[in-house]
A and B are shown apart, each in its own frame.
Chain A
Amino acid sequence: MARVFRFGDGISTDAIMPGRYNLTTDPAALAKACFIENRPDFHETVRPGDVIVAGNNFGCGSSREHAPLSIKASGVSAVVARSFARIFYRNAVNLGLPVIRCADLYDAVQDGDEVVVDTEHGTIVAGGRTFQGEAPSAVARRISEAGSLVELIKNHGWAAIEEVV
């Protein structure tokens, strides 16, 4: 069972990965600094498979990909938010970090609740209820299927995206 780490509205990439901690590209080092000021115990308490649930505009601000990378390297299996900032969402998809837009889950869960997330179908089960997230775009689905944008372009080139648009 995955546990929920619940965050509020407008969580910026500065909150996820402050500018003073991202002078590295090493995923393990970035994981240690994930939410280091916003929620200093995050790195110690998060376990592989846990889920971040957040309010509006998750990942706003700087385009730094260190932010979704640090979340992924922390072992988080999915981020479910009411809405995402555009660049963060695309970065997460590119890295293969599952991101699900879901309007209703946020108000239905508390920190520490247990949830089951089906990232393929975008469904979340929490407290006996099932929540359906928004379907990703065709391009996002194609990237997710390949594992990451790098894998997709490396193995299939732009043709892989041309096929689905």
Chain B
Amino acid sequence: MGTLVEEILSRRVGRPVHAGDTVIAEVDAVMAHDVTGPLAIDAFRSLEMPIWNAARTIFSFDHVFPSNSVAASELHRRIREFAAEYGIRNLFAEGICHLVMVERGFVRPGGVVVGADSHSTTYGALGCFATGMGSTDIGVTMATGRSWFRVPETLRIEVTGDLARGVQAKDLALHVIRQLGAEGANYLAVEWGGPTVTAMGLSERLTLSNLSVDFGAKCGLCEVDAKTWDYLHLPDGGDLRPSQASYSGVLRVDVSELEPQVSAPPAIENVRPLSELAGIRLDEVFIGSCANGRIEDMAIVAGMLEGRQVNPATRTIIIPGTRTAYVQALERGYIDTFVRAGAVVMAAGCGPCLGRQHGTLGPGERALSTSMRNYPGRMGSPDAEIYLANPAVAAASALAGVIADPREEN
């Protein structure tokens, strides 16, 4: 009994725990990627302990894959050597770690997963307590299979109303961040619920949980229902919901009148309604990332780009988040649509989101991205500007070459 996070952690440690308690809990899986992995390996090695469980230790090559520099190749080599030494076979180079973790079945409702990446909160959409940590914590979990957690208080976000056409989970998350600020849920669990969230598909719920960390949350949880099990291709294991929960706060949001939202530089909390920013000229549009790189996002974009041409003055980069999404996009003809529309389609991975590979922004350039980070310097030059929006806004903007409203497209 309690909030979702209290339910999950109580089951895990075998006794009722409440917000404010500190627990040491076993995890189901521990993940690091090609940039955070080597530091985690260093921490692990300094412990001089055996590995906890090679089959539940995952490395993802995604932030800079394929490597574009000698330094990155060196990091990759260190991970591969470490994996060979400890018998770790879960080396994935097939897309963004968070999407791969879900596809590969490491995330289960009611489970506990930690990752050396802040957006590990994404798995909360499946009713899994999941949080991002630094490499030292992850190295310790690789050796012990455990981590310590202060059971967080919960902010319940109760959502009602139907989302209008062209308005998505991303807009709901940005709308909440606008109200609460970038620290609004610092140290809290966020619980996304209410009829609107229940009606959403898992792809949209994953977006909500993903962006939870961007207003400070330790985890972003959704209730477990039949759709959750279906998404994971698992037999229905029953619902998981909060019961008689006591919340530190409840935010009620009615999305009926919500229009698409855009986060303007220099930080995610600087959210404005799309109408206020429409018309701003763009040098780049990036569609992808762990927030909006799923096949459902690709479908929205393909529907809008079909038979059209993106604005030649704006480079449009589209990245299906995983190999699975890429193959589905191929089979459904989306890749054909993207390429014919003049977009550049690149290998599954993080791509321009963190400015380390292709699509790097120069000084004074402006980009619109479906990712969730727009700090100065995030995608390249600190003097570039990054706007964040949903995939439909991104597709409309790619066609127009300026920030544009997808609801005005036919």
Q: What is the bound-complex CA distance between A87 and B116, given in angstroms?
A: 10
B48 touches A14 (CB 8 A): no
The answer to whether A158 and B146 touch (CB under 8 A), given A23-B35, A63-B132, is yes
Nearest residue, chain A, Cβ from B378: A14
A14 touches B373 (CB 8 A): yes
**A160 CB to nearest chain B CB (Å):** 10
A86 touches B187 (CB 8 A): yes
Determine whether A136 belongs to the interface, using a CB cutoff of 8 Å to chain B. Answer: no
Contact with A along B92-109 (1 / 0, CB 8 A): 000000000000000000
Determine whether B111 belongs to the interface, using a CB cutoff of 8 Å to chain A. Answer: no
Number of A-B contacts (CB under 8 A): 141
A137 touches B182 (CB 8 A): no
**In the complex, which residues of chain B have a beta carbon less than 8 angstroms from the beta carbon of A14?**
373, 375-378
The answer to whether A83 and B183 touch (CB under 8 A), given A10-B267, A15-B376, is yes
Task: List A89-104 residues whose CB lies under 8 Å from chain B.
Answer: 90-91, 94-95
Determine whether B144 belongs to the interface, using a CB cutoff of 8 Å to chain A. Answer: yes
Instruction: Give the size category of B's interface with A.
Output: 35 or more
A61 touches B216 (CB 8 A): no
**In the complex, which residues of chain B have a beta carbon less than 8 angstroms from the beta carbon of A12?**
267, 375, 378
**In the complex, which residues of chain A have a beta carbon less than 8 angstroms from the beta carbon of B42?**
25
B136 touches A24 (CB 8 A): no
The answer to whether A19 and B182 touch (CB under 8 A), given A94-B134, A150-B46, A158-B146, is no
Show the binding face of B for A, using Cβ within 8 Å: 21-24, 35-36, 38-39, 42-43, 46-49, 63-64, 69, 71-72, 74-75, 116-118, 132-137, 139-140, 143-144, 146, 148, 150, 182-183, 186-187, 216, 218, 267, 354-356, 360, 373, 375-378, 382
Show the binding face of A for B, using Cβ within 8 Å: 10, 12, 14-15, 18-20, 22-25, 37-38, 56-57, 60-66, 68-69, 83, 85-87, 90-91, 94-95, 137-139, 148-150, 153-154, 157-158, 161-162, 165
